[in-house]
A and B are shown apart, each in its own frame.
Chain A
Amino acid sequence: MSVTHDELREATLFASLGQEDLDGLARIATAEERGAGDVLFAEGDPPGDVYVVVGGRVTLCMAIDGGEGETCFLTLRRGELLGWTALLRRERVATARVVQPARLLRFGASDLLELCEEDHDVGYAIMRAAFEELADRLQHTRVQLLDMYGTKG
């Protein structure tokens, strides 16, 4: 499936990029429709592709207590980055499962890294956006750790 500039711009990751840069991205991206219940990758898998959610909902879950049960800790929606640890060549730390039929943009991690290497301006813009998105997520995680609904009302 072909990828439009509009779809790319949905991603916070690419929001600041210009026409030409988006062309480059469109060349390495593929779009996918996935149904509810599909597992995009599983905890412990080797690093694979990087995704951007364009529509639908994907949840991230981790096994606790030695794999008996799974706890889900985040859902990702339109515009959000998914599977970013692949950029660091790390194995998957969580399982990504589609909970509402989702449209995704998929990038080979090395393609994306290469694109960033080739044009450092583009690379910087993408990394900066990733940094911001992850910083937000870190902050949200901290708030959750405070167990804010737990102690008082």
Chain B
Amino acid sequence: MSDPVLRRLPKAALGALIARLGQTHTVRGPRVRDGAIVFGEVEAAEDLPRGWTDAQGPGRYRLEREGEAVFEGYVVGPDSPKRAHFPAREVLYTAERRADGKVGFAPVEATPGRTAWLGVRACDLAAERVRGAVFEAGGEPRPAARGREDLRVAVSCTKPGELCFCASTGTGPRAGEGADLVLTEREDDFLIEAPSEAGKAVLADLPVEPAEEGAEAWLDAAMEAAEGAMGRAVEMDGLPEKLLGRLDHPRWDEVAERCLACGNCTSVCPTCFCSTTESPVAISATGIGTVEGGAVEVGAGEAAQVRLWDSCFTEEHAYMHGGTLRPTVKARYRQWLTHKVGSWVAQFGTSGCVGCGRCIAWCPVGIDLTEEIAALREGEGELALPVLREAPLEDEDLVPSVAEVVGVRRESADVVTLRVKSERLAGFGPGQFTQLSLPGVGEAPISISGEEAGAIEHTIRGVGAVTKALCALEEGDELGVRGPYGRGWPMEALEGAPVVVVAGGIGLAPLRDALRKMVGSPASYPEVHLVYGARTPDDVLYAQEMLGWLGGPHFRLHVTVDRAAPSWRGHIGVVTRLLDEESVPEGARAILCGPEIMMRFTVEALGKLGVPDERIWVTMERHMECATGTCGRCQLGPYFVCRDGPVFRFDQVRALFGQEGF
């Protein structure tokens, strides 16, 4: 609750404030560096940029001498406290893989920074709340831990900048929520208030006096004037529905002509949270990654898992084995804007934009999102978005547990089933997945394909570095596991009706456990059809096991391959050719897993046979890193495939299914 009592802090007492903060905290505040105002250590009032102003415009930022103010002359620069709480590069854990095949993981703790942020603005405080919502939802404890003991000495903006529009986003200019102390600069003094207990404790030690009568009214008027003086304005209302409903708007093509896909906008944005990971091995002892100025030491031969800022403007952001889903600049810009001010709302109940204008100033070609939004508002089309927030995940520190390989079965030339002993995975559901990892190689999301004698099975096709390394593991080797993650198959919704299971290639793996359950309980699942397509007869997975399932009178198997030798007596041709009145009985529900192109044709064929979207479930695949909704990589419009999927009821994803770049 904010303290209604306003006090005056003489300008000369700024040094006393800094000294008082410095008793318990490292004070970081605005400093002039390399032609801009960024956060840096502040030891005395003289360190602050008194008499500087920032002339900002699209793609332009210049510091100029003007006036005598300490804070009022400028607004936000390229830097923000995000960098301290969510470092651009940090080591999540160190890891080791010994010659005997054993592995080990050691978490790197996030330590509180004990920073007093002097001069943060209302938009910065709002951004911290937005980031907090993102990381809290995913159970990622590090950013909050780093900021837990920080103090925020905010400044309310009386002179908003040319690029500010916090009045439109409802996040400023008046600082309050989240602040420990709030300053408002006046000609001869500051008005100061302490919304928090910690702030009150500081205030008690400062040479303040009660503000004059009418100060409250003055402040209200100043803030109202500031709201009217914003350099930019945006109509935020209804943006999620409008932007996602206008994916074919010509404006996207126009902005793509200018955009460099450089990622400056996302890097300076105080709320963007996308990240990637690397798994370096130290050839000799090195400091592999820096966390808040210090390097994490890693011994020779040891590995680390390093997380670094990514951007939806990079090619790798939407990379999946074989290529990127977002090759064009248009698709990347569209992802950025539709997420930032659109699907973010569905994901976290708030817009991702706090109106600070950084992305406009620091875009090298001066692309202005307020102009883009205005142009996109002129158009047709709306898409209703779901509201997605559910309970946040438990503490998910992203550090794998050690698991042992207790069995290896080769399924085909490039597919292996690993039997893995891990307590962490107990209680998984059919269709859920895990993150399997090897120190120094990397992590990959892999579905759980079943459980046998207390061991969890994963069926893996070796396509790239991680999956090939996993396929090369032998009994007795160890690996890292995280999970189980995601929403699996709707086993209850499938009860009582005929179920058609359509699988393509390795897509049978995520369905296997569901199939086993259905085959094993004819009472709940009276009629089950498995329609399965593989490349060749040699690529058919679980052939022996499937023959066993045929013993159940309620189970029917329909297999087809793309090509075969003449000795093959079964079907040849795409999987959709097997869908007919017989394999898709009336009232059927369908669950699908396979390449997107296969699922697209399958949904179409099922529709013709009278199965509506609401009775079809598909499993989606997107680039994954965290599997907890905090790396931003697996987004599919409003959804995180890792958390809201990978299984979706088809009507939920129909609008974006097959859309370029989603």
Point out residues on A near B: beta carbons under 8 Å: 36, 57, 59-61, 69-75, 77, 97, 99-100, 140, 143-144, 146-153
| Chain B window 499-525, contacts with chain A (Cβ cutoff 8 Å), 1 for yes, 0 for no | 000001111010000000000000000
The interface residues of chain B lying within 8 Å CB-to-CB of A143 are 574, 597-598, 601
The reply to whether the CB of B554 lies closer than 8 angstroms to some CB of chain A is no
Measured between beta carbons, the chain B residues less than 8 angstroms from A150 are 505, 535
| A72/B535 contact (C-beta < 8 A), A143-B574, A143-B597, A152-B595 known | no
* Nearest chain A residue, comparing its CB with the CB of B322: A151
Chain B nearest CB: distance from A63 CB in Å? 10
Complex interface: chain B residues within 8 A of A153 (CB): 461, 505-507, 509, 594-595, 621
Chain A residues whose CB sits within 8 angstroms of the CB of B563 once the complex forms: 71-73, 144
Q: In the bound complex, do residue B565 and residue A69 qualify as a contact, i.e. CB atoms below 8 Å apart?
A: yes
- B interface SS class: mixed
| Residues 555-604 of B contacting A (Cβ, < 8 Å) | 560, 562-566, 568-574, 576-577, 594-595, 597-598, 601
A149 to B320, CA, bound (A): 14
Task: Point out the residue from B533, B562, B566, B598 that lies within 8 Å of A97, measured CB to CB.
Answer: B566
Contact across chains for B504 and A70 when beta carbons are under 8 A apart: no
Q: A140's contact among B565, B571, B573, B595, by CB below 8 Å, is which?
A: B573
Q: Which residues in B have their C-beta under 8 angstroms from that of A100?
A: 569
B465 within 8 A of A: no
A57 to B571, CA, bound (A): 8
How far in angstroms is the closest Cβ of chain B from A122? Answer: 26
CB distance A74 to B572 under 8 Å?
A: yes
Complex CA distance for A36 and B463, rounded to whole angstroms = 39
- Could you give 25 example pairs across A and B, Cβ below 8 Å? A59-B566, A59-B572, A60-B572, A72-B565, A73-B573, A75-B573, A77-B577, A100-B569, A140-B573, A140-B574, A140-B577, A143-B574, A143-B597, A143-B601, A147-B562, A148-B598, A149-B533, A149-B539, A151-B321, A152-B463, A152-B506, A152-B595, A153-B509, A153-B594, A153-B621
Additional pairs, 18, CB under 8 Å, beyond known A74-B572, A149-B539: A57-B571, A60-B572, A61-B566, A71-B563, A72-B564, A72-B572, A73-B572, A73-B573, A100-B569, A140-B577, A143-B574, A144-B562, A148-B505, A149-B534, A149-B562, A149-B594, A153-B506, A153-B594
Chain A neighbourhood of B321, CB < 8 A: 151-152
CA distance A132 to B463 in the complex (A): 37
- The answer on a CB contact under 8 Å between B565 and A70 is yes
Chain B residues, Cβ within 8 Å of A99: 568-569
A140 touches B463 (CB 8 A): no
Q: B621 and A152: CB pair below 8 A?
A: yes
- Are the CB atoms of A74 and B573 closer together than 8 Å? yes
Q: Across the interface, which residues of A come within 8 angstroms of B572, CB to CB?
A: 59-60, 72-75
Contact residues in B for A36 (Cβ distance below 8 Å): 569
Query: Which of B320, B571, B598 has the most chain A CB atoms closer than 10 A to its own CB?
Result: B571
- Cα A147 to Cα B322 with chains together (Å): 12
* Residue numbers in B under 8 Å from A74 (CB-CB): 572-573
Complexed CA–CA distance, A60 and B577 (Å): 15
Q: Are B564 and A148 in contact (CB under 8 A)?
A: no
Which chain A residue shows the least CB distance to B539? A149
Which partner residue on chain A sits nearest B599 by CB separation?
A148
What residues on A are CB-neighbors of B568 within 8 Å? Answer: 59, 72, 99
**What are the residues of chain B within 8 A of A151 when measuring CB–CB?**
321-322, 463, 595
Chain A residues within 8 Å of B574, by CB: 140, 143-144
A residues within 8 A CB of B539? Answer: 149
Complex: A72 Cα to B563 Cα, angstroms: 5
Return A25 CB to nearest CB of chain B, in Å.
24
Give the CA-CA distance A34 to B401 in the complex, in Å: 61
In the bound complex, how far is the Cα of B195 from the Cα of A147, in angstroms? 62
Residues in A with CB closer than 8 Å to B509 are 153
